[in-house]
Amino acid sequence: MNKPLAGLRILDLTHMLSGPFGTVTLADLGAEVIKIEPLEGERTRRLLANDPKHSIDGMGAYFINLNRNKKSVAIDLKGEEGKALFYELVKKSDIVFDNFSVGVTQKLGVDYAVLKEINPRIITCSITGFGSDGPGNHRTAFDQVVQAYGGNMSITGDTAERPLRSGLPIADLGGGMFSMVGVLTALYERERSGEGQHVDISMLDGQIAMLSYMATMYFLSGEDPEPIGNSHFVHVPYNSFKTSDGFIVIAVIFDHFWTGLLEVLDCDALRKPEYDQQPGRLADKAFIEGRVAEILATNTMAHWLPLLEAQRIPCAPINSFSGALADPQVAHRNMVIEVSHPNGKTTKAPGNPVKLSRTNEESFSPAPLLSADADQVLGDLLGLKSDELESLRSQKIIG
């Protein structure tokens, strides 16, 4: 296998989106990810499972996409026998991932304080809504709740009277992305110290970090920003514009882009000397963007975009999913891949965005059926024989 994380073993206790998004990316990069599920299966298996438009033979789009390249072993972690099996797997693993609510790992006895005594090199990662400590850490967390707490909804949309969440679940996805940074950082540190540690990821922390320079602007001015739609508080024109057959965006960030835009639009009303620099354009933002909108509405996207691109003006069509996923650049980067159900039926999904120059193999095995890999994993790693596995199964310790 020519994948960068080959040889890394992860025990994956995650469910829903934030945790599985983190672990599936690591699996795509070659880590052996063993999904440890309750005997009835983790709850994401049931999402869209009976929706004929969004499933394959009882496996929904969520599970198909978020659990490719993983193995499944069902273990009853609430019983002592199942927990003992899990502990044996911990001895032979590098990372344990979860996104349980605060306190659940302690109740189950699978928290870092317990697991480090079993394997001092183990790294654990918990993704929660608000972190492992603090006055608000027991709040109930879902993506939109965290988006609301994180401030971003207050600047999304056209008016402060109607705050909007992001179209994508960015709090969940952000938690998954920061979890990957966290565990890979802990792995690198382990090379020096020889010891594991716990990685504590708060979805809210991620949202606050993403406020970035806008938070610093608030601290400097003391003024809450308000939503301004698709426009920009500094750059003009910088907005979405309707053409005769769809929408495009134009982003005039530097003054030389404005010069190029004038060549495309050929509008005398916009050829004012004061517009040649950003402050002058900002002072007359409404007029400029209004006039640009009027001109662009007279022709098609296919007319305007090549002209804008020829002037090197930042621009793009506002793609639907079908448009984005059919972009030749996306295809060239292998960002639409084929994924399959274990029965061989296939569909497509987003690929792995991490592209490396040398260890660059990309392959995608199907999301597993429930406990499909129990015999192989428990046999190969723990040396259990078929009769022992059958006994564990009959006692409902494993699935």
pLDDT per position as a tens digit, 26-47? 999 999 999 999 999 999 999 9
> Are the C-beta atoms of residues 289 and 239 closer than 8 Å to each other?
yes
Q: In this structure, are 302 and 181 located in the same domain?
A: no
Q: Are 66 and 24 in contact (CB under 8 A)?
A: yes
Q: Tell me, yes or no, whether 130 and 205 share the same domain.
A: yes
Provide the pLDDT for residue 222. Answer: 98
Residues 190 and 42 in one domain: yes
- Choosing from 138, 198, 232, 341, the catalytic residue is 232
Same domain, 245 and 301: yes
Flag whether the pTM goes above 0.85.
yes
Structural domain boundaries, residue 256: 238-319
Predicted local confidence at residue 165, as pLDDT? 96
Query: What is the structure's pLDDT at 113?
Result: 98
pLDDT in tens, 186-199: 999 999 999 999 99
Confidence of residue 144 (pLDDT cuts 50, 70, 90): very high
134, two tokens = 């603090």
> Does 90 have pLDDT greater than 90?
yes
Shared-domain flag, residues 41 and 171: yes
Whether the Cβ atoms of residue 163 and residue 227 lie closer than 8 Å to each other: yes
Q: Are residues 250 and 190 in the same domain?
A: no
* End-of-domain residue from the set 319, 347, 365: 319
Token digits of residue 169? 């679940």
**Calpha distance 328→62 (Å, rounded):** 25
How many beta carbons lie within 10 A of that of residue 212, not counting itself?
9
Q: Are residues 111 and 72 in the same domain?
A: yes
pLDDT over 90 (residue 4)? yes
Mean pLDDT of the chain: 97
Final residue of a structural domain among 319, 354, 380:
319
Tell me if residue 54 is catalytic: no
For 253-290, write each residue's pLDDT tens digit. Answer: 999 999 999 999 999 999 999 999 999 999 999 999 99
In tens, the pLDDT along 290-349 reads: 999 999 999 999 999 999 999 999 999 999 999 999 999 999 999 999 999 999 999 999
Q: Are 201 and 178 in contact (CB under 8 A)?
A: yes
HSE-up of 135 (CA within 13 Å, CB side)? Answer: 0
For residue 368, which amino acid is it?
P
Residues 333 and 291 grouped into a single domain: no
Residue 31 is predicted with a pLDDT of: 98
Indicate whether 49 and 167 sit together in one domain: yes
Whether residue 141 sits in one domain with residue 75: yes
Q: Is the pLDDT of residue 1 over 90?
A: no
